[in-house]
Chains A and B, each alone.
Chain A
Amino acid sequence: MSATSYGWLVLAFPLAGLLVTSLGWRVLPGRTAGWIASGAILGSFLASLGALVQVQDLPREERHAVDSIWTYAATGDFDVEVGIFVDPLAVFMCLVVSGVSFLIHVYSISYVSGDHGFARFFAYLNYFVFSMLLLVLAGNFILLIVGWAFVGAASYLLISFWYRRDTATHAGIKAFVMNVIGDVGLVIAAFLILNETGQLDYLGVFERAPEVFAQNDGTIVATCLLLLVGAFAKSAQLPLHTWLPDAMEGPTPVSALIHAATMVTAGVYLIARTFPLFELAPTAADIGAIIGTATLVFAATVALVQTDLKRVIAYSTMSQIGYMVLGVSVAAYSAGLFHLMTHAFFKALLFMGAGSVIGAMAGIQDMDRMGGFRKAMPFTFVTFTIGALALAAFPFTSGFFSKDEVLAYTINRGGGYVVLALAGYFGAALTGFYAFRMVFRVFGGEPVPEAKELEGGHAAHGEPMNPMTGEPEDTDVGFPGPEHNVAESSPPMKFAMAPLAFLALVAGVVGIPGVTDTLEHFLEPTFESSRYIDDHPSAGAEWVGLAAGGIISVASIYVAYVFFVRRRGITLELRDRFPKVHAFLFHKWYFDELYDAVFVRPTATAGAFGRRVVETDFVQGFIVGGTTGIVRAGTSFARAIQTGFLRAYALLLLLGVAGLVLYFLLASS
């Protein structure tokens, strides 16, 4: 089979899984739906492996394959085709997406086992994975937009999975609206590309672009900025990031799948995929790099003070994606994608660990109420710590190599980029601190009652309630199920977390500078035409960067150790001494409040005005009321004639006839 056949198979498996689980949910017994869905994704992963082998077999110069199954719209000059584009980048994304998704599916089988929407959950998950794979395999911008929009819809469905929980449905709406802003940007960008180059499939566009656009041409910069709007909305970068923390309302596997491993990296993929355009528009690429850096610092500072476990991880996701965006924006494509891969491993792992802890806390997510789970949950403790180590870029874990590669490439560009790289190192220091803040606060210290109960052998059983608002809930469909699961007692959860922990530790081997560089060589054919392809830092420089990164990481973890273990309470003192700083960070730099004041309130006010004045007073009162008033006046006259007295009718009839006769008499004479 050719590479494209495998590409179609990659798409076919999740689609089939989606159809089976969504149509057969009534007849599928027990947890079958979960296993079918997981099997579908496993099939997709195996097909990705097949595509990998096939792509590697192609000669190096033309290591890509295009195939189309249907011409959706045939016009004079160009056709819109349902076609896929298989090259190392697409295969790489397929492998990461399907591989991590498979483990998350398996994890979910345990995690939502008690939920009354089990099959629905897996149908949504499969739909999401299908959309994401469509996004990365699409061969032209039209299909890319389709996948892009599907992913947004799937994310909406999954965030609002517990649809009777108001906070969850609101978070879903927020995510969807933010994503649609990005969709609009992407659609307009595609229009500009079509308008200028007359093409929409990648190969054609990239071939024509250098002929059509001058370097830093106004149109190409605008196009790339619009692409960035799309990328930033999907990847939760400033200023379109506010949906991601709220998306933590969804079930934890959803957070792991969508909001850590796959969907939010779509923006990174988009920038890497359209790199020929960005290299024609260095201004746009620089803006991307600056915003990526700003996001990584911003999110890291916010993560320092959040107390909701999942929100801390969400902010760390934003921060890590900031690194990736920085990487692909400074033409360090393989470095950015390398970080995308390692991040998918360790962030999915962290979310799974968090899910296990939340299960042990019977749904509570507040870190202030957690502590001492070290003994009660040894497996979760070890895997979560591995994830935190990789996140903190502890020497020789996967995150260590990938993060520092991004920063080394950034420094290598010289000039102002050095400032961005230094900001990146500052962010790395914060990362180590907040990562181990989680570890020490959740697993260290005195065991809380829930932890003691778990040590005694049975999980805590709280009253079902909304962890955000404390409202009481029941456990029927639309709310979380009655059972909470921890990894220690659920083999599927363990099965999913163990390989991720392993990968989070050792996945760095594909990118050890000067030693392996496997990933870089693998992706090289895709980025061959890049003008920066030979422009990479020397192995020696990278190792200097790695040493610096390692020192920062260890130091920041030590600071966290001092703050949260040795001298517990120092953070409270700091908070009391700098209440304004704390409040500023705790309220996420007041972004939500700003958007509320700038966009939400004026819109709501305009809506209220429209409802009260335009709708009620003008339309209802004047137009509708005026028309009915005229009709009413006319009918009341007609009604007055209808007295019901037979003799009155007879009189009227007579008068009428007499009048007519009189008229004709006068008219004829």
Chain B
Amino acid sequence: MDVVWFLVLSAFIFVIGAAGVMTRRNPLVVLLCLELMLNAGNLALVGFSRMHGNEAGQIFALIVMVIAACEVVIGLGIIVAMYRNRLPIDVDEMSELRG
């Protein structure tokens, strides 16, 4: 199969994830969409790896997965902490960084 298919799929998934991050207000869903974006990136890496015939891209994809796992741990931890403190589960409400 041509690498373009992989890339087109990857781009679709990435845009879906990005749109989700942009539009959803529930942090849990935002995290899921982030995951989509990361995996879109993985797909592109693996596709290129296959095209070039070497393993570097696959190793990158593995590392991205590890990072994603770490990120999810922290993100979920923050969401749990928000629950515990009875804060609204809404990213728009969390605007302490406003200048």
Q: B-contacting residues of A (Cβ < 8 Å)?
A: 638-647, 650-651, 654
- B99 surroundings in chain A (CB, below 8 A): 638-644
A644 with B21: CB separation less than 8 A:
no
Task: Please indicate the chain B residues that have their CB under 8 angstroms from the CB of A651 in the complex.
Answer: 22
Q: How many B residues, CB 8 Å from partner?
A: 14
Specify the main secondary structure of chain B where it touches its partner: loop
Q: Across the interface, do B22 and A644 meet the contact criterion of CB distance under 8 Å? A: no
**Is there a chain A Cβ closer than 8 Å to B65's Cβ?**
no
> B97 to chain A: which residues have CB within 8 Å?
642, 644
Sample of 8 more A-B contacts, CB < 8 Å, known A646-B92, A646-B95, A654-B22: A638-B99, A641-B99, A643-B95, A644-B97, A647-B25, A647-B91, A647-B92, A650-B18
Within 8 A of A (CB), among B52-90: none
A642 with B98, Cβ < 8 A, contacts A647-B91, A647-B92 known: yes
Question: Is B2 interfacial (CB-CB < 8 Å)?
Answer: no
Sampled A-B contacts (8; CB under 8 Å): A638-B99, A643-B98, A646-B30, A646-B92, A646-B94, A647-B92, A650-B21, A651-B22
Residues of B within 8 A of A646 (CB): 30, 91-92, 94-95
Which of B23, B30, B94, B95 gathers most chain A CB within 10 Å? B95
The complex places the Cα of A164 from the Cα of B71 at a distance, in Å, of 71
A644 near B96: Cβ-Cβ < 8 Å: yes
Contact check, B98 vs A644: say whether CB atoms are below 8 A apart.
Answer: yes
Cα of A638 to Cα of B92 in the assembled complex, Å: 20
Verify B95–A645 contact, CB threshold 8 A. Answer: yes
A651 to B19, CA, bound (A): 9
Q: Are B91 and A644 in contact (CB-based, < 8 A)?
A: no
Is the Cβ of A644 less than 8 Å from the Cβ of B95? yes
Complex-state Cα separation, A647 to B19, whole angstroms: 10
B79 to chain A: closest CB distance in Å?
Answer: 13
**Cβ of A572 to closest chain B Cβ, rounded Å:** 82
Question: When chains A and B are docked, how far (Å) is the Cα of A651 from the Cα of B18?
Answer: 9
User: Are the C-beta atoms of B18 and A645 separated by less than 8 Å?
Assistant: no
User: How far, in Å, is B36 (CB) from chain A's closest CB?
Assistant: 13
B21: chain A residues within 8 A (beta carbon): 647, 650
Q: CA A642 – CA B97 in complex, angstroms? A: 7
Among A640, A646, A651, the one with the most B-chain Cβ atoms within 10 Å of its Cβ is A646
Distance of A640 Cα from B99 Cα, bound (Å): 7
How far is it, in angstroms, between the C-alpha of A643 and the C-alpha of B22 when the chains are bound? 15
Task: Closest A residue to B18 by CB, please name it.
Answer: A654
Q: Are A647 and B98 in contact (CB under 8 A)?
A: no
Neighbouring B residues of A638 by C-beta, 8 Å = 99
CB distance from B31 to the nearest CB of A (A): 12
A651 to B21, CA, bound (A): 9
A488 to B99, CA, bound (A): 81
Among A643, A647, A654, the most chain B Cβ lie within 10 Å of the Cβ of A647
Residues in A neighbouring B98, C-beta threshold 8 A: 642-644
Chain A contacts for B23, CB-based, 8 A: 647
Chain A proximity of B18: nearest CB distance (Å)? 6
Q: Which residue of B lies closest to A647 (CB)?
A: B22
Chain A contacts of B95 at CB under 8 A?
643-646
Of chain B, the residue at the smallest CB distance from A643 is B98
Q: What's the least CB distance linking B11 to chain A, in Å?
A: 12
Give B18-45 as 1s and 0s: 1 = Cβ < 8 Å from A's Cβ atoms: 1001110100001000000000000000
Q: Smallest CB–CB gap between A268 and chain B, Å? A: 75
Residue of B nearest to A636 (CB): B99
Which residues of chain B have C-beta atoms less than 8 A from A641's C-beta? 99
